[in-house]
């Protein structure tokens, strides 16, 4: 009985259910970004990038359409009441829009799950994508990547009372949940085949399953898991050390090299002028991890 009530309360926090449904203890939801500490980005005047099909489309429209996540604390979260997106990835998306001459406050964000990112970029549904998107060679055959702008690593999230799981080797015979189409899912499938792996569209569904004892662990990047653990500190913990490198890039349509190079330049400039760090401190930094140095931009040749 006690456990059921506690799990319900935690689900209220994670799902940010309305106050009436959850009662006082489940609300307010976990700390959001520190809005007053976020930098302001002013759109660069007279910027042009005629060589970029995505930019040209956006310029005509008057704003960018950006793909993102909506359920990843401190990174990409959508407020269910206002529809507003916030988090570190969202700030990166906003500063990029300003650097490319379009007002950041006019961006239309679209939630796109891990498995659908390449298709969304290929069919022009979005102009660029900022949402814990690992750069790798397989994906580079389908899309382009600016960046990286952050370096994460795959890790494990377990219940607080779990004492047997400290790393991926301990997953043999355990039920492990990850998102379809993600690199953490692929890594467990290929390198730890004894794990009983299940996939859902989003990590928040995995976390619900962890809280209700349907699975034993959730695996994805540490940056994402730290956020879920911070929202339910009495129930969940990140176990062991990261066991991969996940450099986060900004996804662009493949072949739109003009856009990719302009984003590389914009990232460099925002790292240099302090906006990157300010944005980190007011979002992902709230999870307790101090700002690292941003990784070096990997500007690969036009493709
Ligand atoms: N960074 C990993 C990936 O791009 C996991 C996070 C995610 O699914 O967005 O697959």
Residue 219 sits in a domain whose CATH number is: 3.40.190.10
Candidate of 136, 157, 246, 295 to mutate for ligand 1, largest count of ligand atoms within 8 Å of Cβ: 246
Residues 188 and 133 in one domain: no
- What does the pLDDT read at residue 14? 52
Model confidence pLDDT, tens digit, residues 97-155? 999 999 999 999 999 999 999 999 999 999 999 999 999 999 999 999 999 999 999 99
- What does the pLDDT read at residue 172? 98
Residues 80 and 229 in one domain: no
Please, are residues 10 and 30 in contact by the beta-carbon 8 Å criterion? no
CA of 230 to the centre of ligand 1 (A): 19
CA distance 122 to 128: 10
% of residues, the chain, pLDDT over 90: 86
- What does the pLDDT read at residue 27? 34
Within a domain: residue 292?
no
- Domain boundary, last residue among 239, 257, 277: 239
pLDDT at 180 > cutoff 60: yes
CA of 20 to the centre of ligand 1 (A): 34
Residues 278 and 197 in one domain: no
Residues 87 and 207 in one domain: no
Within a domain: residue 31?
no
pLDDT-based confidence at 37, cuts 50/70/90? Answer: confident
- What rounded mean pLDDT belongs to the chain? 91
Can the peptide bond before residue 148 be classed as cis, meaning omega within 30 degrees of 0? yes
Residues 62 and 141 in one domain: yes
- What does the pLDDT read at residue 168? 98
Which residues are registered as beta bridge partners of 4? Answer: none
Within a domain: residue 35?
no
Does 199 or 1 have the greater pLDDT score? 199
Query: Quick one: tokens of 61?
Result: 């429209």
Within a domain: residue 37?
no
Within a domain: residue 258?
yes
Residue nearest to atom 10 of ligand 1 (CA): 182
Name the maximum alpha-carbon separation found in the chain. 63
- What does the pLDDT read at residue 36? 82
Residues 114 and 216 in one domain: no
- What does the pLDDT read at residue 69? 98
Within a domain: residue 38?
no
Residues 169 and 143 in one domain: no
Domain span at residue 106 reads 53-152+246-287
Within a domain: residue 101?
yes
- What does the pLDDT read at residue 294? 97
Minimum-distance ligand 1 atom for the alpha carbon of 179: 8
CA distance 73 to 86: 9
**Which stretch of 1-5, 163-167, 259-263, 285-289 has the lowest confidence by average pLDDT?**
1-5
Model confidence pLDDT, tens digit, residues 20-30? 334 333 333 44
Residues 79 and 101 in one domain: yes
Burial degree of 158 (CB within 10 A; 0-12, 13-18, 19+): buried
CA of 248 to the centre of ligand 1 (A): 8
Minimum-distance ligand 1 atom for the alpha carbon of 152: 1
CA distance 230 to 62: 37
Residues 142 and 266 in one domain: yes
CA of 37 to the centre of ligand 1 (A): 27
- What does the pLDDT read at residue 26? 33
Residues 61 and 143 in one domain: yes
Within a domain: residue 48?
no
Minimum-distance ligand 1 atom for the alpha carbon of 185: 10
Four-point Cα dihedral 247, 83, 36, 65, nearest 10:
50
Minimum-distance ligand 1 atom for the alpha carbon of 220: 5
182 Cβ inside 6 Å of ligand 1: yes
Q: What is the pTM of this model?
A: 0.91
Neighbours of 94 (CB within 10 A): 25
Residues 61 and 93 in one domain: yes
Residues 119 and 259 in one domain: yes
CA of 190 to the centre of ligand 1 (A): 16
Instruction: Work out how many domains the chain is built from and give that number.
Output: 2
179 Cβ inside 6 Å of ligand 1: yes
């Amino acid at each position: 009985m006690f456990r059921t009530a506690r799990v319900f309360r935690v689900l209220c926090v994670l799902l940010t259910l309305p106050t009436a449904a959850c009662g006082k203890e489940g609300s307010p939801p976990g700390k959001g970004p520190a809005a007053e500490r976020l930098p302001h980005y002013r759109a660069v005047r007279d910027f042009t990038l005629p060589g970029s099909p995505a930019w040209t489309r956006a310029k005509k429209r008057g704003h960018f359409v950006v793909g993102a996540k909506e359920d990843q604390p401190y990174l990409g979260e959508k407020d269910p009441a206002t529809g507003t997106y916030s988090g570190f990835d969202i700030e990166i998306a906003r500063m990029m829009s300003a650097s490319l001459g379009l007002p950041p406050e006019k961006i239309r964000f679209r939630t796109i799950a891990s498995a659908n990112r390449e298709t969304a970029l290929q069919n022009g549904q979005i102009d660029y994508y900022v949402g814990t998107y690992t750069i790798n060679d397989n994906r580079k055959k389908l899309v382009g990547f600016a960046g990286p702008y952050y370096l994460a690593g795959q890790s494990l999230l377990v219940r607080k009372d779990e004492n047997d799981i400290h790393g991926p080797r301990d997953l043999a015979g355990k039920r492990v949940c990850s998102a379809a189409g993600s690199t953490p899912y692929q890594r467990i499938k290929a390198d730890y085949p004894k794990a009983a792996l299940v996939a859902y569209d989003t990590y928040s569904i995995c976390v619900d399953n962890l809280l209700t004892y349907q699975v034993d662990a959730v695996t994805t990047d540490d940056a994402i898991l730290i956020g879920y653990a911070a929202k339910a500190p009495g129930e969940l913990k990140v176990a062991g050390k990261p066991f991969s490198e996940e450099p986060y890039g900004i996804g662009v349509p493949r072949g739109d090299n003009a856009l990719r190079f302009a984003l590389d330049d914009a990232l460099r400039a925002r790292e240099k002028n302090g906006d990157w760090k300010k944005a980190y401190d007011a979002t992902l930094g709230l999870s307790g991890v101090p700002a690292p140095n941003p990784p070096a931009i990997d500007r690969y040749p036009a493709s």
